């Protein structure tokens, strides 16, 4: 297991919690982001994620480094899943350990916001009556990156 990875198989959150747990950690926060069925009154059938994997993993590692510099004594692990995800599947897991709980909570929230800002992952929502690329990077640019 890598501390910062893009995966295509279902995510096991406990692996990431175990990875960050250390004797000096008084807290571990574990965030899992799931595929939800309803968004703003529209029923989602499933999501499709794509990523520019080498850059995405580098950016996840960058977020981990930012956290470790900002909150002393933290350890971070992040995984994001790509491919087609069904309702309730885990799309992302963020595990943070720290000596105290406040730092772990703050660092975990920081991580998910930074993922949305800088990591090249694209999400397509598939509904009963259509589909759309969602987020800051709305169009799947896989072909455009090459």
Q: Specify which residues 49 forms β-bridges with.
A: 83, 123
Asked whether residue 112 is domain-assigned, the answer is: yes
Asked whether residue 144 is domain-assigned, the answer is: no
* Helices and strands (H, E) in the chain, number of each type: 4, 9
Give the separation between CA 38 and CA 115, rounded to whole angstroms.
22
Q: Is the dihedral of CA 18, 22, 26, 27 positive or negative?
A: negative
For the chain, how many structural domains are there in total?
1
CATH assignment of the domain containing 46: 3.90.1170.40
- Sheet with 75-81: strands ordered across: 4-7, 75-81, 90-98, 27-34
Q: Tell me which of 73 and 136 has the higher pLDDT.
A: 73
Please write the tens of the pLDDT for every residue from 60-99.
Answer: 999 999 999 999 999 999 999 999 999 999 999 999 999 9
This prediction's pTM: 0.91
| Enclosing domain of residue 27 | 4-138
Q: How confident is the model at residue 39 (pLDDT cuts 50, 70, 90)?
A: confident
Give the separation between CA 17 and CA 128, rounded to whole angstroms.
36
């Amino acid at each position: 297991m890598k501390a910062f990875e893009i995966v295509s198989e279902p995510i096991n959150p406990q692996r990431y919690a175990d990875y960050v747990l250390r004797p000096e950690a008084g807290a571990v926060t574990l965030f899992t982001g799931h595929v939800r069925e309803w968004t703003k009154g529209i029923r989602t059938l499933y999501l499709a994620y794509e990523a520019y994997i080498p850059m995405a993993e580098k950016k996840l590692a960058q977020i981990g480094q930012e956290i470790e510099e900002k909150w002393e004594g933290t350890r971070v692990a992040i995984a994001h899943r790509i491919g087609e995800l069904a309702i309730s599947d885990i799309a992302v897991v963020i595990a943070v350990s720290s000596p105290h709980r406040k730092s772990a909570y703050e660092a975990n929230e920081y991580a998910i916001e930074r993922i949305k800002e800088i990591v090249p992952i694209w999400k397509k929502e598939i509904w009963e009556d259509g589909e759309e690329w969602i987020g800051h990077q709305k169009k799947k640019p896989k072909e455009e990156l090459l």
